[in-house]
Amino acid sequence: MFEFLKRLFGMSPAAAAIAPGPLEEPRALQVSNPGFEAAVGARPDDATAWQVYSDWLIDQGESWGEVIAAAQQGKPDTRRQAAVERGLLGGLEGKVSWRGGVIDHLELHASFDSFEKKVLMHVVLERALKHPAGHFVRKLTLGLPCADSTEWHFEDLFKAIANAGPLPCLVELDLSQRAEHMDQPSWRRVGDARSLWKAAPNLKVLALQGAVGSDGGVPSMLAPIDAPRLEHLRYESGGLDRSVSLEVGAATLPALTHLELWFGQANYGANGDVVDLAGILEGAGLPALKTLGLKNSEWEGELIGAVAKSKLLPRLEVVDFSMGVMAAESATALLLHAARYQHLKRLDLSDNYFSAAEQQALKQALPNAHLGEQKAEESDDPGYRYTSVGE
C-alpha cells in the first residue's frame, strides 16, 4: 500500500492523509530532534543536512518533511506554502519569503485595526515560529506591537521567541523598524530581552530601537549577554539608558565587528556619560571589533578624548560620531587628537554643527573624515543644539 501511494501521489501515507485544502490550519511542530536541528543550524546551506532532517520528519509522520525534501530538490510546493502562510499570519500585516521549504524571512507589523480585532502580534509570532515551516526562519523583522497604554515594548515578542526556541537558523533580528501607529521614539521601550540569547544561539545581527523615556518606562535588560556568534549590534535610541553601555562593556562578544549605540537626549531619558563606556573602550571583550558608532550624543570633547586615549581605537577601522551636537569645541578636540584618528578608514562626523571653516580644518587634518550634511545653528546659545533623534 505504501509503494502504491508513493507512485499515485508522490508522497508518504502520512502526507497523503493530511494533504491540505485551500487553507492549512496552523499547527505546532509535533516532533523535535535537537541534534538534527542543530546540524541544520550549523550548516543551513547544506542540502544533505536538510535531507537527513526531512527524512527523519517523514519517519515521525510529520508531513512537512515532504515539503522540505521537495523544495531541496528544486520542486517547492508553492500551493501548500501559500496556504500555510495565510494561516500563520491570521490577519496581521506581514511578508513571508521562502527558501528550501521553510520560511527564510518573516516580517510582521502591528496596527490598531488588527489590535482591536484581537489579532495580537506575539500570538501570531509564536504560532509561526512553532510551525514546522517557521521554526527554521533565518531573519525576523518585527514592528512595534500595539498596546492599550503608553507601555510600548517588545517583551511579549521576546517571550514568544523564547517559547518557540531554540531557533537553530535565526541569524538576524530587526526590531528597529518605524511604527505608523506610534511615531514617538521616546515612547518606545525594548524591555527584557535576556531570553533572546538562549532562544537564538546562532544570532549574528541584532538591531534594536527603544528609549528610557522621560517617564522611566520599561527598562532595557540585556545582560548577561551570551551571544558568541553576534557580529553586528545596533541600538537606536533618543534616550539610551546607561545600563546598555555598561552591559555591552561587561560582555564577551568574540565575533562582534560592528557596534553602534545611539545615546539621545537627557530630556528623553539618556542618563549615561563617558564613564559608562569604559568597558567598551577597554576592548577586552570585543577582540574583533572594527566599527564603533557612538552616535546621536550630547557629549562633546569628552567623547572624542575618551576614544582617542582608549586601547580600542588602534584596532578600529571606522569610528562614527554622527548625529550629535559637535561644533567648535569638538573641532578643537578632534584637531588636538588628530594623530590618534588618522589610521581610520572612515571617521564619520556628519549631521553635527560644524561650520564651513571648521569642516575645512578637519578635512585638512583628517582626510578620512566624512562630514556630509551639517545641521544649521538656530542660536548662538549651545543649548539650542540637538541630537538628530530625541523625541
pLDDT band at residue 15 under the 50/70/90 scheme: very low
Q: Give the integer Cα–Cα distance in Å for 67 and 29.
A: 14
Residue 240 belongs to some domain of the structure: yes
Nearest 5°: the CA angle 296, 275, 286 is 80
Asked whether residue 268 is assigned to any structural domain, the reply reads yes
| Residue 277 identity | L
- List the one residue out of 89, 30, 28 whose CA is nearest residue 56: 30
Contact 101, 77 (CB under 8 A): yes
pLDDT at position 159 is 96
Residue where the block lists cell 511604527: 179
Query: What would the DSSP string read from start to end of 289-305?
Result: --EEEEES-S--HHHHH
- 68 located within any domain: no
pLDDT per residue as tens digits for the range 96-116: 999 999 999 999 998 878 777
CA distances from 344 to 93, 231, 339, 340 (A): 43, 20, 10, 9
Residue 222 has pLDDT above 50, yes or no: yes
Q: Which residue range is the domain that position 250 belongs to?
A: 184-391
Q: Is residue 87 part of a domain?
A: no
Q: Kindly report the backbone phi and psi dihedral angles of residue 262, in degrees, each rounded to the nearest multiple of 5, phi listed first.
A: -105, 120
Q: Is residue 303 part of a domain?
A: yes
Q: What is the mean pLDDT of residues 292-298?
A: 96
Query: CA-to-CA distance for 242 and 211, rounded, in angstroms?
Result: 11
- Report d(CA 114, CA 149) in Å as an integer: 16
Is the pLDDT score of 22 beyond 50?
no
Q: Domain containing 375 — which CATH number?
A: 3.80.10.10
User: Is residue 226 one of the residues assigned to a domain?
Assistant: yes
Q: 98 with 132: CB under 8 angstroms?
A: no
351 in a structural domain = yes
Rounded Cα–Cα distance for residues 211 and 228 (Å): 26
Looking at residue 19, its pLDDT comes to 38
Percent of the chain with pLDDT over 70: 91
Structural domain contains residue 66: no
DSSP 271-295: ---GGGGHHHHH-TT-TT--EEEEE
Name the strands in the sheet holding 369-370, side by side, starting at the edge strand that comes first in the sequence. Answer: 93-99, 102-109, 139-142, 172-175, 205-209, 232-236, 258-262, 291-295, 318-320, 346-348, 369-370
> CB count, 10 Å around CB of 33?
14
**Greater pLDDT, 384 or 237:** 237
Preceding amide of 224 cis, omega within 30: yes
Rounded to whole angstroms, the Cα distance separating 158 from 164 reads 10
- pTM metric for this prediction: 0.90
The one-character DSSP state at 221 is B
Confidence at residue 83, expressed as pLDDT on a 0 to 100 scale: 92
pLDDT one-digit tens code per residue, 134-146 = 999 999 999 998 8
Our count of domains for the chain comes to 1
